[in-house]
Amino acid sequence: MFLKNSWYMAAWDHELIDGKMLPRTILEEPVLLYKGDSGKVVALEDRCCHRGVPLHLGRREGDCVRCMYHGLKFDATGKCIQIPGQEVIPPKLGVKNYPIVERDHVVWIWMGDPAKADPADIIDFPCLRDPQWKGVPDYLHYDANWLLIVDNLSDFAHLAFVHTNTLGGSEEYAYVTKPVAIERLPNGFRVERWHKDAAPPPFHRKVLPAAEKERHVDRRNIGSMFVPGIFFLQTMFSPAGSGSENGNREGSRQYSNVQFMTPETRSSTHFFWTYLNDFEGDDHNISRSLHQSLIEGFMEDKHLIEAQQKVLDADPSFKMLAVAADAALSHFRWTFDKMVAAERAADAADKAPGKIATTIPIKAPHQAGQNA
């Protein structure tokens, strides 16, 4: 059910400061993440190859980690380089290593065949490094399958009902606005939606100067969703009737919202997010206010989605029904399923008896992958 050959967000870089040993299950594999003395992030299988004790209970030594049960020491590639009291170390002894890329405060991990990991495939979000965009990056844990969260983010109509008093503003949003464009992409979709001449929704109103709180706005949302579960929402609020749809940006305020859904297991998800604004200048309280509003909104989603997961678990024969507003999410699920099927078929072909491998063979576990 998982797409293995894909980059996933494993952590924010701030989660690894001060020598932290971070255990995190990703795609049902236990992973240990840490930053070595060299400054590079290391990701290793979080299970000592000797007796299976988690390595996150061990001790970091430079870029290496020592299991604190019987003292086996592993380097940043996962290779065992010391066995206390034993001279000879079998050359293949070690734990799995995962390719890692650290970019724009995001730690990316590759869970599939290391020979196929290409950092050029990582989606670029310039707003994550542009000092004009400010925000507070954060994390939430969900007891739900990541695709249910993807579904939720794929349809802005839910803003109207789930988030009426927080992020949405009114139920009217679901009735009077429609996506003006749905673009089907090979790895996801892009939708655009306008809501004209409406009161600013509560989260935005809170950060507006007093003189502007009652003024109507034109709201534009452009949402993009990418495989395996990366969401990018570009929101703009402009003075109502100012012609922002024709490119006039005067008086506009913008938000860039990046969210990463990384499966922990088939029924739980790591949800990383940051809600950036381009207008706070030196007033960081705007970021703080938005951060709180967003958490309030996300808890509304989480409440429903975790309940939905329980209902789906109770009766696996239940089939969900699609309505017109589900076009984008249906396309995403179809695209995703196709990619998983292609990956399975390629794996099966590579493993077929008598088959000459068409891909670069997977290296021994301790040599697999490198930090980029």
Q: Residues in the site for ligand FES, rule: CB under 6 A?
A: 48, 50-51, 53, 67, 69-72
Largest alpha-carbon pair distance within the chain? 78
Nearer to Fe ion, 94 or 179 (CB): 179
Nearer to Fe ion, 75 or 301 (CB): 301
Residues in 33-72 at the binding interface with Fe ion, rule: CB under 5 A: none
Nearer to ligand FES, 72 or 148 (CB): 72
Contact 150, 225 (CB under 8 A): yes
- Cα–Cα distances (Å) from 28 to 263, 268, 360, in that order, read 8, 10, 25
- The distance of closest approach from Cβ of residue 51 to ligand FES in the complex, given in angstroms and rounded to an integer, is 3
245 DSSP 8-state letter = G
Residue 301 contact, options ligand FES, Fe ion, none, Cβ 5-8 Å cut-off depending on partner type: Fe ion
What's the CA gap between 336 and 226, in Å, rounded? 9
Residue 69 contact, options ligand FES, Fe ion, none, Cβ 5-8 Å cut-off depending on partner type: ligand FES
Nearer to ligand FES, 9 or 67 (CB): 67
Following DSSP, what letter does each residue of 54-114 receive, concatenated? -GGGSEEETTEEE-TTT--EE-TTSBEEEBTTBS---TT-B--B--EEEETTEEEEE-S-G
Contact 113, 359 (CB under 8 A): yes
Nearer to Fe ion, 78 or 200 (CB): 200
Q: Give the number of residues in contact with Fe ion, rule: CB under 5 A.
A: 1
Residue 236 contact, options Fe ion, ligand FES, none, Cβ 5-8 Å cut-off depending on partner type: none
Residue written as tokens 């003292």? 71
- The distance of closest approach from Cβ of residue 136 to Fe ion in the complex, given in angstroms and rounded to an integer, is 18
- The distance of closest approach from Cβ of residue 54 to ligand FES in the complex, given in angstroms and rounded to an integer, is 9
Nearer to Fe ion, 113 or 301 (CB): 301
Residue 72 contact, options ligand FES, Fe ion, none, Cβ 5-8 Å cut-off depending on partner type: ligand FES
Residues in 284-323 at the binding interface with Fe ion, rule: CB under 5 A: 301
Instruction: Please report whether residue 343 would count as binding Fe ion according to CB under 5 A.
Output: no
Contact 224, 154 (CB under 8 A): no
For the chain, the C-alpha Rg in angstroms (whole number) is 23
- The distance of closest approach from Cβ of residue 32 to ligand FES in the complex, given in angstroms and rounded to an integer, is 12
- The distance of closest approach from Cβ of residue 67 to ligand FES in the complex, given in angstroms and rounded to an integer, is 3
- The distance of closest approach from Cβ of residue 26 to ligand FES in the complex, given in angstroms and rounded to an integer, is 21
Residue 46 contact, options ligand FES, Fe ion, none, Cβ 5-8 Å cut-off depending on partner type: none
Residue 40 contact, options ligand FES, Fe ion, none, Cβ 5-8 Å cut-off depending on partner type: none
End-to-end CA distance of the chain: 27
Q: To 5 degrees, how large is the angle CA 94–CA 106–CA 111?
A: 40
Contact 149, 229 (CB under 8 A): yes
Residue written as tokens 């606005």? 177
Nearer to ligand FES, 45 or 264 (CB): 45
Q: To 5 degrees, how large is the angle CA 77–CA 78–CA 84?
A: 125
Nearer to ligand FES, 9 or 55 (CB): 55
Structure tokens at 213: 């709180």
What's the CA gap between 322 and 29, in Å, rounded? 33
Summarize as ranges the residues that interact with Fe ion (CB under 5 A): 301
